[in-house]
Amino acid sequence: MIYHKPVLLSESVAGLNIKPASVYVDATFGGGGHSKEILRQLDQQSKLVAFDQDEDAQRNSIDDPRFLLIPQNFKHLKRFLRFHKIDTVDGILADLGVSSHQFDTPERGFSIRFDGPLDMRMNRQQMLSAKEVVNDYSASELADILFHYGELRNARNIANQITQNRAEEIHTTEQLNAILSDFLPRGNENKVLAKIYQALRMEVNKEVDVLQDFLVQCKEVLKVGGRLSVISYHSIEDRLVKRFIQNGNFDSEPVKDAFGNPERSFKKCGGLQVPSQGEINQNNRARSAKLRVAERI
């Protein structure tokens, strides 16, 4: 079984504008698809540093003297680069979201398709899992998560439905799906369920906070002229990436200097890129992918 088929492989790696005697980062190693393509284009004087907090992904490590896999969340980018005596890098690639392996492994609890434990942890060493979120969060806390991370208009009703049906602890995805069945429109069940699972997963893994921390650190470790190449899969991620590239922060307006001039840290390299229909036909999970590339200025 293929661990994960990389999306927008050639486009995202091309976005790095790989040069000789340089250092690159694959922030989301996964199955190693992007890393292998980067290594294929590196010379012997270059180095690739990869990050992944998932123990399953770490088993895919590549035996290459130019390659280093750091078994950590990419929110620790700057800290671990410095630990390895790397102050600046020439390019950073991130393929956000969940790997095919994580979706296709029932016991990980990421997928609406299988019955499995309510887990959804990308790092299985952490304490918080989807079970705690579903069973311990208040109705208002659940509603906020479902509204902000799932973009669900009826978030409060869904949250109330969950909290009113947990007299006995909800352990599995099948139990949760049954409780939610009244809120699943006929013919559109999977789309709504996917949004609910997305919201729970994003809370469990603190994905918005992690992405923001990571992007700020990218600005700090990228050399002038270095490239940032980011693939996202839903509007929340893409909005954060887009605003950070445009404004250097996560607001709708850039920071301005004393004279009112915007202080920008990146310039866009081309426009938004999406998979071709041919790639989507070969890999249905590519359908929602968006690639943005920027250069540090």
Q: What is the pLDDT of residue 11?
A: 98
CA distance 137 to 145: 10
Taking phi first (over 0 means left), then psi (-120 to 50 degrees means alpha), and beta for anything else, what does residue 268 get?
Answer: beta
**Does residue 80 sit in the same domain as residue 142?**
no
Are both 93 and 156 inside the same structural domain? no
Give me the percent of the chain exceeding a pLDDT of 90.
82
Structure confidence at residue 99 (pLDDT): 78
pLDDT at residue 2 in the model: 57
In the numeric block, the tokens 């078994």 are attached to 71
Mean pLDDT value of segment 80-84: 98
pLDDT-wise least confident of 30-39, 131-140, 183-192: 183-192
Max intra-chain CA distance, the chain: 61
Q: Of 95, 28, 39, 90, give the one whose Cα is nearest residue 63.
A: 39
Q: How far, in Å, CA of 226 to CA of 264, rounded?
A: 15
How would you classify the pairing of strands 290-296 and 222-232?
antiparallel
**Residue 140: CB atoms within 10 Å:** 12
Q: Domain count for the chain, please give it.
A: 2
Q: Which of 181, 204, 227 is the last residue of a domain?
A: 204
Confidence of residue 256 (pLDDT cuts 50, 70, 90): confident
198-250 pLDDT, tens digit each: 999 999 999 999 999 999 999 999 999 999 999 999 999 999 999 999 999 99
| Same structural domain, 15 and 159 | no
Q: Give 139's pLDDT tier (boundaries 50, 70, 90).
A: very high
- Looking at the domain assignment, is residue 287 inside a domain? yes
Task: Write down the pLDDT at residue 104.
Answer: 79
C-alpha–C-alpha distance, residues 53 and 57, integer Å: 8
CA dist 193 and 178 (Å) reads 11
- Say if residue 152's pLDDT is above 70: yes
Of 183, 204, 225, the position where a domain reaches its end is: 204
Host domain of residue 190 = 124-204
pLDDT digits 0-9 by tens, 166-181: 999 999 999 999 999 9
Average pLDDT, the chain: 94
CATH number of the CATH domain containing 282 = 3.40.50.150
Nearest CA to 95 out of 50, 59, 155, 133 is that of 50
* Structural domain ending residue among the three candidates 159, 174, 204: 204
pLDDT digit string, tens, across residues 31-42: 999 999 999 999
Q: For the domain that residue 189 is a member of, what is the CATH number?
A: 1.10.150.170
Indicate if the pLDDT at residue 23 is higher than 60.
yes
Instruction: Looking at the structure, tell me whether residues 89 and 146 fall in a common domain.
Output: no
